[in-house]
Amino acid sequence: MAVMKMVAVTMVGPHEEMEPVARQMVLSGGFQPLPLDFLINDRNLRSRITTESANPYDELLNKMSVVWKAAGENIPDPEPTPFDSGFSFHKARRLVEETAGKLETWNRRKETLAEELEQLEATKVYVGALTELEMKPRELSETQFAVARFGRMSADSFKRLEETTLDAPILAVELSRSNDNVWALIFTVSGYREGARKILDAVYFKEYSLSEISNGMSEDDALGQMERDIDFHKNSIKELEDAASAILRERGEEFENLYSRLYTMQRVYDLCKGRGEISGMYVLSGWVPEDTFAAIEKHIERDAPRTSITVEQVKNIAASGVRIPTMLRNNRLVRAFQDVVALYSVPSYGEVDPSPFVALTFILFFGFMFGDVGHGALLLLGATYMSKKRILNRSLAYVMKCASYSSMVFGILYGSVMGVEDVLPALWLSPMHNTGKLFSVAIVFGVVVISVGMILNMVVRYRERDFGRLLFDGQGLAGLFVYWGSAIGIFVAVAGVKTPFPLSWLWYVIAAVLALTLFRDTLARTILHEHSEHESKALQMFEVLHNLMNYFTNTASFVRLAAFALNHVALSFAVLQISKMLGDLPGGEFLRVLILVLGNIFIVGLEGLIVFIQVLRLEYYEFFGKFYRGGGNVFKPVTWHRDRYMRKPS
């Protein structure tokens, strides 16, 4: 139903038309490249085809991002740009070098100054601590009896270091703290150098060389000179950022346009890596949805008139072993339930998409088993909260919201609010007072769902042109007649309904049709002239008995709909009774409210989860088992966004 037909296309044209073609594929958002090996069977021709591996625009994008990094700002979100036939890689590289060359130099200088500033600040802490102890920096770096190390780590890491080194020959001395970092001196004996190094690495200790600190400073007015150097570095970094920001303010729009153009071409070449080249011609193949092919063909005819498009026969590609991708397209309500189907398996190409049926039956079954106005409202609040906190993804949250609305609707039909059935009048039935009717409706639901599953199986057989199984299989038309006939016969016998003919006649006809399924392959060969494999009669007899048992076991499985509806009422009743029993105890009113709150949370949380699982079981086993195979390969087109170029500057 919602499995879109796919078209395998191969585009061949001159090298200069490759970029506009690939750009259209990227912006259409509906092109999945195919390896050329699957489409080119001529080995001689295949050996002459070369393929691209590196993307030349990766380096240009990284260089262009320096413009915003130098100014300390976020990289902008790129936008698709119109294709310009005069825009080439060489022109793009020249523009980037002109635009980002100076800023790249400034950024490298800023990074160098930042490293020097960090070294100066470390030196200041170290020298300041030793000055208070009336020691000179060289004394620790040249000591012969102990090994001294200086550096910083987080406060948590320093605490962990102190706990770790209680029984080790290591002494950690805290010098100062700033921004949750601890500057510390670490002392150890000469023979424990390697052990100390491993421990310090484990706590992410960033070390600064004492010898470099000592050699890089003068003895006279050391602290004063460092203060001046630190101020100089900070001012220099600030001046570089201000200069970059000024250029960005003046030419920001120009830079953003260039970045978007580079990003567009980068995505184009990402797609082009799946292409081949031969004698100055490019070859690009892939899957596109059938309903978008006409628009893509029109764009290519306009922007790349010398490029030819060949449509491959899907049946020939499937025969070669290539899996055709599955693309689902449903309305908003059904789309969320595609993930419920995907938990079982994605539909294979050409198969019936069960998502619309799952959307309807899932909501119906959940509300039937969990029908309560109050509990449905609590479930809705919980789903909304978890959706906002991103505990649930969007589709699952939508499914749970639909289920909660169904619960409230059935709660109105049952007249049930927090398990109490005398607050609202029951518009349909009361689970506690109309138990027989409840179970009867559950069985009817089962018959309908199983029948729909068998009808969908016949649709699948029709698409596969397997008319033998469509007509004579136990899951086909013959099986459906046996199932409906048995259901009618049992209903007539149990309800005592009078029929215009003896009931035994119905059973004779059912037995005769059931016998047809035993000779399914023989009938397919003789009547329909279909080729089918010969199966042993014992195996066919077992299959007939298996189908016959499944008719009854699958139908009986739907009794759980009524059972869990009663279970919900019973749990709610138990919570109410316990709360009443505690009302006479000291502090009983508080206990009563506490039990009501916790009990209802328990019902909504635990029973809601159990009902959710039971609904999935009915879908996957009783419904999917009749027609659904799954095992599809999800359609994965080349998309516009590429996350690694959307990062914020570090």
Is residue 34's pLDDT more than 60?
yes
Whether the Cβ atoms of residue 276 and residue 283 lie closer than 8 Å to each other: yes
User: What is the β-pairing status of strands 325-326 and 147-154?
Assistant: unpaired
Residue 114 tokens read as 């930042």
Mean pLDDT of 521-540: 73
Sign of CA dihedral 624, 626, 627, 628: positive
Q: What share of the chain is helix, strand, coil (3-state, %, to 5)?
A: 65, 10, 25
Q: Tell me: pLDDT of 45 over 90.
A: no
Please tell me the predicted confidence (pLDDT) of residue 649.
35
Which 8-state DSSP code applies to residue 271? H
> Of 512, 459, 462, which is closest to residue 485 (Cα–Cα)?
512
pLDDT of residue 218: 57
Residue 211 makes CB contacts below 8 A (sequence gap 6+) with: 141
Nearest to 603 by CA among 319, 315, 375, 368: 375
The tokens describing 76, both together, are 């902008």
**What does the radius of gyration of the chain's CA atoms come to, in whole angstroms?**
37
Alpha carbon distances (Å) from 627 to 267, 279, 351, 451, 466: 40, 50, 9, 11, 14
The three-state (H, E, C) secondary structure of 92-109, written as one string? HHHHHHHHHHHHHHHHHH
* Calpha distance 31→447 (Å, rounded): 42
- At 553-569, the pLDDT tens digits run 999 999 999 999 999 98
Q: What is the pLDDT of residue 647?
A: 37
More confident position, 648 or 158: 158
Domain ranges for the chain, please list them. Answer: 137-218
Q: Residue 51 gets which letter from DSSP?
A: E
Confidence at residue 39, expressed as pLDDT on a 0 to 100 scale:
54
Angstrom distance (rounded) from CA 234 to CA 117: 7
Q: Which two tokens stand for residue 117?
A: 């500033």
The pLDDT tens digits of the residues spanning 127-170 come to 777 777 666 666 666 666 678 888 888 888 888 888 888 778 88
Q: Which residues of 176-209 are buried (b: 16+ CB within 10 A; e: fewer)?
A: eeeeeebbbbbbbeeeeeeebeebbeebebeebe
The DSSP annotation for 605-617 comes to IIIHHHHHHHHHH
Q: 3-state class of 218 per DSSP?
A: coil
Q: Which band of pLDDT confidence, cut at 50, 70 and 90, is reported for residue 613? A: very high
Q: Which residues share a beta bridge with 207?
A: 151
Which has the higher per-residue pLDDT, 575 or 71?
A: 575
Each residue's pLDDT tens digit, 391-428: 888 899 999 999 999 999 999 999 999 888 778 888 99
Looking at 176-180, 221-225, 502-506, which range is the least confident one? Answer: 221-225
Amino acid present at 16: E
Q: What is the mean pLDDT of the chain?
A: 83
Distance CA 410, CA 424 (A): 12
How many of the other CB atoms lie within 10 Å of CB of 356?
16
Write down the pLDDT at residue 451: 95
What is the rounded CA–CA span in Å between residue 546 and residue 479?
12
pLDDT tens, position by position, 52-100 = 667 778 888 888 887 787 777 888 888 877 666 677 778 888 888 877 7
Q: What tokens were used for 222? A: 């050391």
Residue 643 DSSP symbol: G
Q: What's the token pair of residue 308?
A: 């030819």
Q: What is the pLDDT at residue 412?
A: 94
pLDDT, tens digit (0-9, with 9 covering 90-100), for 336-384? 999 999 999 999 988 899 999 999 999 999 999 999 999 999 999 999 9
Q: Give the least confident one: 130-139, 173-182, 388-397, 588-597.
A: 130-139
HSE-CB of 537 using CA atoms within 13 angstroms: 3
CA 26 – CA 4 distance, rounded (Å): 19
Q: What pLDDT does 644 receive? A: 39
> Residue 253's closest CA among 85, 129, 455, 76?
76
Whether residue 258 is predicted with pLDDT greater than 60 in this model: the reply is yes
Reading the block at residue 568, the tokens are 């919900």
- The partner residues of 10 in beta bridges, in order of sequence, read 285, 310
Biggest CA–CA distance in the chain, Å, is 120
Q: Would you tell me which CATH number, out of the four given (3.90.105.10, 3.40.50.300, 3.40.50.150, 3.30.70.2750), belongs to the domain 137-218?
A: 3.30.70.2750
pLDDT of residue 560: 95
